[in-house]
Amino acid sequence: MAIREILTVPNPVLKQVSKPVAVVDDAMRALMDDMLETMYDAPGIGLAAIQVGEPVRVIVMDLQEKPEDDPEGEAVKKPRYFVNPEIVWKSEDTAPYEEGCLSVPEIYDEVQRPARVKLRYLDYNGNAVEEDAEGLFAVCIQHEMDHLEGVLFIDHLSKLKRDRAVTKVKKLTRNAA
């Protein structure tokens, strides 16, 4: 496993539409392993392959939770893998959530998304899965699936807020170099 570079705005690769994965094989699993290690290192809760420069329809996610019997303890890792995910149903009711993104560091803003979705995807081993998502899971999967279409969460904001975010990230990355 290797930690990969996470692309940041305004890198044009982030605007590419990702291609479907033909088969979940060892090479694809190696990519997912690298993505997961990269996400944990960042740290983040979700990462799309395009964010590490791979234009394929793959997402990793871990919505870690603290153990109920030890709220101060270490979060339990629960990695999830989504290959060729698609939303097959979404609720009409929406919910606001303050989102951030590893490709838009240090920027957070509220985005309205469907409160519940049903999705279909292939797992780490290529098995077909269909499940419902709500709460943070619904927000995160929709956010990451936007990446597969070349859409960033700041694209849901006003032009002024989006431009300010890109300017701030450019300045951050310039100062970090």
**Residues noted as catalytic:** 144
The letter for the amino acid at 166 is V
Residue pointed to by tokens 């002024």:
160
Domain boundaries, the chain: 12-176
pLDDT of residue 75: 77
For the segment 101-124, the average pLDDT, to the nearest whole number, is 97
- Under CATH, what is the fold of the domain 12-176? Peptide Deformylase (3.90.45)
DSSP 44-91: -SEEEGGGGT--BSEEEE---B--TT-TTSPPBP--EEEEEEEEEEE-
- State yes or no: pLDDT of 71 exceeds 80: no
The Cα–Cα gap between 100 and 162 comes to 13
Residue pointed to by tokens 């989504």:
82
pLDDT digits (tens, 9 = 90+) for 17-48: 999 999 999 999 999 999 999 999 999 999 99
Average pLDDT, the chain: 94
CA distances from 59 to 2, 32, 84, 154 (A): 16, 8, 9, 19
